[in-house]
Structures are given as C-alpha cells and as structure tokens.
Structure 1
Amino acid sequence: MAVTKRLLIVAHAPSPNTRTLRDAVEQGARHSDIDNVEVIVKAPLDAGPDDILACDAIILGTTENLGYMSGALKDFFDRSYYPCLEQTQGLPFAYYIRAGHDGTGTHRAIETITTGLRWKRVQEPLICRGEYREDFEQQCQELGLYLAASLDAGLI
C-alpha cells in the first residue's frame, strides 16, 4: 500500500476569475488517476507554517498587485518564512500568477522568497498574462495535474 502524500495549494482568489483558476488547479490535482495524494486548498490568510510543515509539495497562486504578489500571499510568507526556513529546504513547489500586465515583479518576488527558503521549483512558473482567457483554466488544471502526478509517482 502506497503512502499518501499531501499537496498544499495556497492561492489568493479575490475574484470569480481567480477562483476559477484556483479551482482548475485543484481539479487537476484531484484527477481520478492520482491515487495517493491528499489535496489541501487554503487561502493565504488561512494557511501558515503548520500547513507547510505538513505537506510534501506546494502550489502557490497569486494575482499581480501593483507589480507584486498579493498582500495576502506576502502575509503568508511573512508568517511562515522563519518557522519553515530550516525545516522545509528542498520542498517541491510550483506557482501561477494571474497577471493583468506582465507578472515580472510578482515572479521576481516569489523567486526571491522561495530561493531564500531553499525550496525546489519543479515546474516553470505559469504566468497568465493580459486579458482573461479561458485557456488559462486548462493551463492551471495541467499545473495541478502534473505536480500531483509527479508527487503520486514519487518523482518529487
């Protein structure tokens, strides 16, 4: 019997479109072919160090706010950074950004913080740029599926 792994999704979803993207990530992660992954979904203000310490991989989701990540995701990092610093090195992670512009500042900020934590990015960042398009949903679903499938197969 395989050991169940835990995938944590921490996503800021303040609008119907961003909730749809978060739900697409979750739907992909809960694909019927994935047997041994428990998926936990939390808003950044509801998640913290204990959630990170209890997971085997994490997907982060944020909006681009004034060229930076959402304040809620930044708050999540502020509360979690030092309690997790020494205990989560190598944690597999991926992230997506809903960027009305180019997402560059948001991408840079997440990379800086996760580099400091010494987490291991296992997929290229998904940056959903510009006007909302329905294909963002498929891309987010694939992000969740690929990360959960990799965790399920023991690749990460």
Structure 2
Amino acid sequence: MTSEFKKQLLIVAHAPSANTRLLRDAAFQGASHPDLEQVHCVVKAPLEAGPDDVLACDAILLGTTENLGYMSGALKDFFDRSYYSVIEKKQGLPCALYIRAGHDGTGTQRAVESIVTGLRWRWVQPPLILRGEWQPSFADQVEELSMTLAFSVESGIV
C-alpha cells in the first residue's frame, strides 16, 4: 500500500443507536478495503462535519435515519451549514446515500435528493433504503455501497 492517498471519501453518517453505528462502521470498512490503495476514508458525524470537509473530499457517502418521514435533524444541520459554502465549488461531487428506515424511507429519500439536486452533486448509485425491522444484512449492504463508491472514485469511473 502506498503511503500517500490521492483521493478522499467522506462519510457523513448519523448514528444515534447501536444498529446505526454498525452501519457507519460497515461503511468505513467498505471504504477501507485492503485493495483500495489510493482512497483515504474520513468518517464524521453530521454535527462534526462541515464545508471544509466537503471541499476536501472527492466523493461523499451520506447516512441517515428516517425521522418522522424526513432525514435526521443532524444531517439537515450539516446541509444547512455547508450548502452555500460548497455549491459553486463541488458541483458534480460523486455521492451515495443510505437510509435506515423504520417505515418506507421515501420521504427521507426525497428530502435528501432535493438538497443534492440543488448542490448539483452526482448520484453514483440509487439511494439504499434499509426498511423495516433490523436485519444483519443491512450492514453488508452498506459495506458494499461504500466499497463500490470508493472503488469508483479510485478507478476514476466517477
């Protein structure tokens, strides 16, 4: 493995519970796959992440819970604090999203997609909605999503 990374993947994930922390950790694990030699992964909670983090990254993975049919307040706060500082500088930023939804997740998806459209970021894959009761396979799906995004960034596909 080279000692100097050329690309950075930012994971901004709201993880208020043990299960959502498993998802965040799975995202980090996927983006830190041993075959990824040129991608450095930075993981931040939405209340800790800001515009400087977005400006420093080459791709972003967003993770949120479904809260009353909307994204988490923490992720909304991240967008509120970052939006105008990055809108002109990060157009086309490759992005992906996972939603831990107790119900259907569609309102959450629409809300995040609306903001991402305004930012002119580019979806690498359709949002991953993890619906209903907790399933251990949710972590595998998030790990695969993150790994796919990281490999796409490293290889220059996105």
Question: Is this a same-fold pair by TM over 0.5?
Answer: yes
- 1:45 Cα deviation from its structure 2 partner: 0.2
How far apart in 2 are the matches of 1:67 and 1:93?
21
- Residue 39 (structure 1) aligned with residue 41 (structure 2): yes
1:25-79: CA deviation from partner (whole Å, max 9, x where unpaired): 1101100011000100000000000000000000000000000000000000000
Match of 1:99 among 98, 101, 106: 101
Residue aligned with 2:65, SS: strand
- Structure 1 length-normalised TM: 0.98
Task: List structure 1 segments (4+ residues) > 2 angstroms apart after TM superposition.
Answer: none
The residue correspondences of 1:4-153 to structure 2 (distance < 5 A) are 4-153=6-155
> Identity across aligned pairs (percent)?
67
Partner of 1:40, secondary structure, is: strand
Q: CA deviation at 1:124?
A: 1.2
Q: Which moved more, 1:1-10 or 1:52-61?
A: 1-10
Q: CA deviation at 1:154?
A: 1.1
1:67 and 1:18 mapped to 2: Cα distance?
Answer: 17
Deviation at 1:120, TM superposition (A): 0.3
Counterpart CA distance in 1 for 2:154 and 2:90 is: 19
Distance (Å, rounded) in 2 between the aligned partners of 1:62 and 1:30: 20
Provide closer, same or farther for how the CA distance between residues 11 and 3 of structure 1 changes in structure 2, counting only shifts above 3 A.
Answer: closer
